[in-house]
Amino acid sequence: MDHNQRLFAAVAVERRVMSFLLFFVMAVAALGLSGTLITVTVQRARVIGTLAAIGATPGQIATIFTLYGVVVGVLGSLAGVAGAWLALVNRNGIANLIAKATGQELFPPEIYHFASLPVKYDAGVFLGVAAAGLALSVLAALLPAWVAARTEPAANLKRS
């Protein structure tokens, strides 16, 4: 009984650590998205200048770039949820494939005391991670949107 309690405590700690690690992976991906959108802002300087010259407000220009982040966030969240669901459905096959490729059992039965990987499908976790990914994507798009909205139309039109 004592061994099982320690095992469950260890699994709980592993789950928390994995949550933090995955959050930081998503944060790095959001920084990559922000960098990409900054590059798009620089590349589309003439288009931004033209939009401003024909009457687009800074808020409308910022909305365009923020929507880039929303679209990437929605598509990334959908792809992530679908990929996670596929990985969970096929978890035992994936673990067996990795064991054959590396020659080492991922979850040795003598340590973990189960024949196959158990799973608990929790819609709240799926939705929470998808929402966090979407929120990080939108936050990552705000800086490039602000930069695009604050540039002078005349300076943008002069760029080649």
Q: How many domains does the chain have?
A: 1
* Residue 160 scores a pLDDT above 60: no
Q: What is the structure's pLDDT at 3? A: 63
- pLDDT grade, residue 156 (50/70/90)? low
Interval 30-47 mean pLDDT:
86
pLDDT over 90 (residue 101): yes
How far from 150 is each of 17, 31, 58, 88, 123, CA to CA, in Å?
Answer: 40, 21, 7, 45, 41
Domain hosting 132: range is 2-158
Average pLDDT over residues 121-146: 88
The pLDDT-based confidence of 78 (bands split at 50, 70, 90) is very high
